[in-house]
Amino acid sequence: MAFDQLKKKQSAMWGSAPFERVADEIADIHDVLVDAVDPQPDEAVLDVASGTGGVTERIARRSAQVTGIDFAPTLVATARSRAGDAGLDIRYDVGDAEALPYEDASFDVVVSAFGHMFAPDHRAAAAELARVCRPGGRLGLACWTPEGGIGDVFRMVASFQPAPPPPDVPNPLEWGRPEYQQELLADAFELEIAEHESPQRGESGEQIWQLTSTSFGPSKTLLDSLDPERAEEYHQATVEFYERYREGDAISHPRHYLLTIGRRR
pLDDT over 50 (residue 1) = no
Question: Residue range 64-84: average pLDDT?
Answer: 98
Q: Give me the phi and psi of 41, to 5 degrees please.
A: -55, 135
pLDDT over 80 (residue 108) = yes
> Could you give the percent of the chain with pLDDT greater than 70?
99
Strands 44-48 and 107-113: parallel
Question: Residue range 88-107: average pLDDT?
Answer: 98
Q: Which residues have a Cβ under 8 Å from the Cβ of 155 and sit 6 or more positions away?
A: none
Q: What is the pLDDT of residues 22-70, one digit of tens each?
A: 999 999 999 999 999 999 998 999 999 999 999 999 999 999 999 999 9
Overall CATH class of domain 4-149+165-201+254-264: alpha beta
Reported as a pLDDT band with limits 50, 70 and 90, residue 165 is confident
Taking CA atoms, 10 is separated from 77, 115, 144, in Å, by 17, 12, 18
Q: Shortest CA distance to 221 belongs to which of 32, 31, 47, 15?
A: 15
Distance of CA 255 to the CA centre of its chain: 13
Q: What is the pLDDT of residues 198-238, one digit of tens each?
A: 999 999 999 999 999 999 999 999 999 999 999 999 999 99
Where do the domains of the chain lie?
4-149+165-201+254-264
> Could you give the percent of the chain with pLDDT greater than 90?
95
pLDDT over 90 (residue 164) = no
